Amino acid sequence: MRFFLLTCALLSTIASPSLASTAASDIDEVIVTASRRPAASADISSALSLVTRDDVLQEKLTTDAISQSIGVSLQQTTPGQGSAVIRGLKGSALLHLVDGMPLSNALFRSAPTPYLALVPTTAVERIEIIRGTSASLYGSQAVGGVIEVVSREPNFATDKTALRRDLALSFDTAELQKSIKGSVDFGNRRLAAILSGEYLTTGDRRIGGGKRISPSGYSSKAARLAVSMVPSDERSWLFDLQWLEQPSTPRIDELVPGFGQLTPSSSEYFFSPNSRLFAHLRHTADDSLFGLDWRIDGAWQQITDDIITRDYEAPTRHQEANSSDLYALSINTTSRNAAISWLAGADFRTDEVKSSRRQVDIQTMVASAVAPRYPSGSRVDEVAMFGNLVWAAADRHQLSGGLRLSDVHIDVPASNLNMAASVDVRRLSGDLGWIYSLSDTWQLVANAGFGFRAPNIADIGTLGNRPGNRYNIPNSDLKEERVEQFDLGVRQQSDAVQFELVFYALRFYDRITSVLTGDTTASGRDIVQSVNAAETAIHGAEASLTFALREAVRARAVLNYTWGSETIGSGGAQPADRIPPLSGELSLDVDLNTAWQWQSWLTVSGPQDRLNDREIRDVRINPDGTPGWTIVGTEVSCQLSEEWRINLMADNLFDKNYRVHGSGLDSPGRNFSITLRRRW
């Protein structure tokens, strides 16, 4: 609430505008994540991946839509969740945003995380992915990359009240999916609103070969209300309310035997429920106070991460109630002319954690309170100031760079298991970028940056079961992780060809990693603790090519390669954890006529047998290495009429049984799906 009051106070100081600035709609392929202000993709030096609205809508969850992006791999421990891996980094090493507001929070784990799956697919306009550090603009957590969901806004070009509707029904065979998604847009160019909702239910996943993994079914339901007000061409307001809940989602890797196991680690392990409630207020004013363009965002987000667990055949069940309330305020001001564009601003964030746990005897149903997973009342406060400049230094040279000063304070109250902890991190982070235009379509790009990640409550205070048959104990003596990163690439953007090749290298210092203590629990789980013990070096290459073979035929190729090594404590160097293998995709799109389109794809992943000690012990990963795999899919779509469209898809046609490296379950087998969509 204090952030919203401060927002209102700041808004009242902004003078009335007199001139309109360049509208986002006037800029081709507008990107906001990499620059925090509208810019064409050709003017951004960072390596970028884009996912469109239609690509997101045809997936079950928002998470699923990023799996085929250049430089991105997707790990899963349950069909209802997923975690992006970018340049060998995952979880809390990647900053997740929704409209510039953090999706990441104090409970955001370093392991695969579920929260991106809690963003409604019907709310998404596009997803923008920065591959690499964007330290001056985003600071802590943006050490490996930034994933931002840009929400769809109510927008009409007419003064008359108009109405748009969108309805989609979908079914598939591999997960017995049934879903309905719908939205209604209404209003005019001054006042407009979106009301949307979706419901999804699945059954047990069928993997390659025909076996269904039980229990792996889940359901998801979501709703959204967004209202935009545009009093003038220079001022705008947006209010956005998003909600999504998965009532009970099973964690598969805990419920089925892993590699080397005769029995599963748990008899029960359910996220019940997993939910997100997000309220966002934004105001923009162009050519306002001091003649600058202003944007102010205030948001509140509550993540509920309740968990039900029971060790295998144990007589007691644990019921957890975990939540995080994140309050965020961001103030940005920008200015631009023909040669220079600059941005300055400040971020204020407070994250408050509540956690409780009780133990229930499954025979008598007698319950008693036990130590919670996280120290309840823990809090993370962050204040940051930043500045960023883009300079057209010469006809062919563009330079960019910036600095960010962050002050992060973490408070962990005392409990029966640990003393009170107070951690302060004050760090400067920054980056430099360079674009050299070889011609009108070819560019040489380079980026360098240094950043950090402050420990959060999941790092410092987690107590309880972890995947891989582990049990975590708290550690209040943690400090920040540090990263240095560099990339160099060449790209072409023309009407017929889009090409990108990027080479990158990064080094992670004081990386927080989970290490064995040498003890085990009574149920046989290895007791581990998070410590600043690792130094990681990662390098690799990312390439993509999209080109038109002829007017109605387009081809796309993607290739990703990552290599990493890691040193933990005084031990010798070994392969880094969860590094994706060499992978790629080939696809072909053909417009058969004005109504019919056909697409086919070949997705390939090489084997990953460069495992570190932790991966060899992890029951989710084959100790001999994850085998390579190849799958083939095809899709036909038809515009039945001006309003109706149908999509028929067949994936993994040869019913390959395979697993993405690092995931806790096998991927879907042969899958047939149908989507019927009406827009009117």
| Residue in this structure with the two tokens 């300079």, named with its chain if needed | 391
Selection from 346, 349, 333 nearest residue 299 by Cα: 349
Quick check: 134 pLDDT over 60? Answer: yes
Assess whether the previous peptide bond of 38 is cis (omega < 30° from 0): no
Across 323-347, average pLDDT: 93
Strands 574-575 and 583-591: unpaired
In tens, the pLDDT along 452-484 reads: 998 888 888 777 777 667 888 888 788 999 999
In tens, the pLDDT along 477-527 reads: 889 999 999 999 999 999 889 999 999 999 999 988 888 888 888 888 888
Quick check: 14 pLDDT over 50? Answer: no
Whether 310 and 264 have beta carbons less than 8 Å apart is answered as no
d(Cα 358, Cα 367) in Å, to the nearest integer? 6
| Per-residue pLDDT, 114 | 65
Whether 132 and 46 have beta carbons less than 8 Å apart is answered as yes
| Per-residue pLDDT, 1 | 41
State residue 188 phi and psi, 5-degree precision.
-140, -170
| Per-residue pLDDT, 23 | 34
Selection from 244, 210, 174, 217 nearest residue 79 by Cα: 217
Least confident of 46-60, 131-145, 279-293: 131-145
Percent helix, strand, coil in the chain, to 5, is: 10, 55, 35
Quick check: 10 pLDDT over 60? Answer: no
String of DSSP letters for 489-556: EEEEE-SSEEEEEEEEEEEEEEEEEEEEEEEE-TTSPEEEEEEEEEEEEEEEEEEEEEEEEETTEEEE
User: Exposed e or buried b for every residue in 269-286, given b needs 16+ CB within 10 A?
Assistant: bbbbebbbbbbbbbbbbb
Q: Which amino acid is at 395?
A: D
The answer as to CATH 3.40.50.10470 being correct for domain 2-155+171-679 is no
| Residue in this structure with the two tokens 């792996």, named with its chain if needed | 216
d(Cα 493, Cα 438) in Å, to the nearest integer? 12
| Per-residue pLDDT, 4 | 35
| Per-residue pLDDT, 111 | 62
Domain chopping of the chain, boundaries = 2-155+171-679
| Per-residue pLDDT, 268 | 96
Across 111-127, average pLDDT: 87
Across 40-54, average pLDDT: 89
Categorise residue 521: left if φ over 0, alpha if ψ from -120 to 50, beta otherwise.
Answer: beta
pLDDT range class, residue 18, cuts 50, 70, 90: very low
In tens, the pLDDT along 203-230 reads: 999 999 999 999 999 999 999 999 999 9
Residue 184, judged by CB atoms within 10 A of its CB (0-12, 13-18, 19+), counts as middle
Q: What is the pTM of this model?
A: 0.90
Quick check: 378 pLDDT over 60? Answer: yes
- Write out the two tokens for 107: 């409970």
The overall average pLDDT reported for the chain is 90
